[in-house]
Amino acid sequence: MALAIPISEPAPSPAAPETSGTLTVDLAAIEANWRTLVHELLTVECAAVVKANAYGLGLEPVTTTLVTAGCKTFFVADIAEARSVRSRAGEAAIYVLDGFTPDWGDAFIEVNARPVINSTTELAEWDAFVSARSWQGGAALHIDTGMRRLGIAPDEAAALAPRAQTENHGIALIMSHLACADTPDHPLNATQIKLFRDLHMLYSGIPASLANSSGIFLGDTAHYDLARPGAALYGVNPTPGKPNPMQSVVELTGRILQLRNVERDETVGYGATWTAKRASRIAVVALGYADGLVRSGGGTDEHPGGAAIVAGKRCPIVGRISMDLVCIDVTDLPAGAVHRGEHATLVGGDIGVDDVAAAAGTIGYEILTRLGPRCHLVYRGG
């Protein structure tokens, strides 16, 4: 006979003295980023995408902050996230991007959430469910205009359009997703915007949503009735190649465990990928890829890596980043400027998540969602 093992509550964030890293999330900066989009760029409603635990930064505190700022619509990945948002946003509209499955049906009623319908099969299942339950909660209809992941095909959307003119049609929103909005000159942007405009005309009177974070910066033709920023709220640059209009949101610091001398032509780290070109001073910091940094973000003999701020100065990361440790070249700091037990900043100051991502060959989204699972977590400004 199997034993039932009780499931305990998640462990709290480690206390600061018990871990070597600290992740700080600036809730005031998240609010400021939302307000920047609302007041400087949009004349339509601004929702918030808080999927993936608010991009790794904490679904409930982030939702609370945005509700206080005035946000009235949220997008999440699944029904569990919808439940968390509802606990902090009693009156908000909540859309579930992963769509509808009959297993989640009753939870949609309980939470008062709306599925984003991604196929005609889902739509049939949703129709059967709401008919059986006499539920009038509404759903979003996701049209694939060029991303080619989820969503009903344009010809299917056109065939379904007469439904929008019937009573109790149940479509609260039509939406699509831009594939290349972070590359403003990409021709697919214009193709998707035109196709969505043509389809929207068939759904007269139903609100529409197309623009993600970068899509907001493509201009009014992408805004429609509801914008859906995600990454921009959390400090990722929605305009790559241009100055970031968003405030930085996160800071990741780690304790310096040791300072050591490395002679010229000696190597540092796994694989001996970085060789000292001079006698060097190396700070070994207690952070690694288990804390959300990316293994490939360190400097090698062939390629420069990322950087950290030590004693107020930007210093290069050298050698491969390992699970628990990262090595920083502090040779150019004045003698006595840095000591064991002090902290280095791996994200924060003039080192944004996009800088960390670029050094590792990835994107700021991935860095954000990986950061700090075992760090002491601090919220400020909320």
CA 371 to CA 23: how far, in whole Å?
A: 8
Contact 356, 296 (CB under 8 A): no
Catalytic residue among 234, 242, 270, 365: 270
What b/e string do you get for 228-262 counting C-beta neighbours within 10 Å, with b at 16 or more?
A: bbbbbbbbbbbbeeeebebbbbbbbbbbbeeeeeb
- From the list 371, 295, 285, the residue with the least C-alpha distance to 329 is 285
What is the DSSP code string of 99-154? ---GGGHHHHHHHT-EEEE-SHHHHHHHHHHHHHHT----EEEEB-SS--SSSB-H
Residues near 161 by beta carbon (within 8 Å), at least 6 away in sequence? 199, 202, 203
At position 321, the amino acid (one-letter code) is I
- Among the listed residues 51, 55, 95, 365, the single catalytic one is 51
Half-sphere exposure of 6 (CA within 13 A, CB side): 2
Catalytic-residue membership of 313: no
Beta bridge partners of 100: none
Q: Strand locations in the chain, DSSP E?
A: 21-26, 45-46, 48-49, 73-76, 93-96, 114-117, 139-142, 171-175, 208-209, 226-227, 250-262, 267-268, 274-275, 280-285, 307-310, 313-318, 326-329, 343-347, 376-380
Residue 194 region, left (φ>0) first, then alpha (ψ -120 to 50), else beta? alpha
Distance CA 328, CA 283 (A): 5
Please confirm, yes or no, whether 270 is among the known catalytic residues: yes
| Residues with active-site annotation | 51, 270
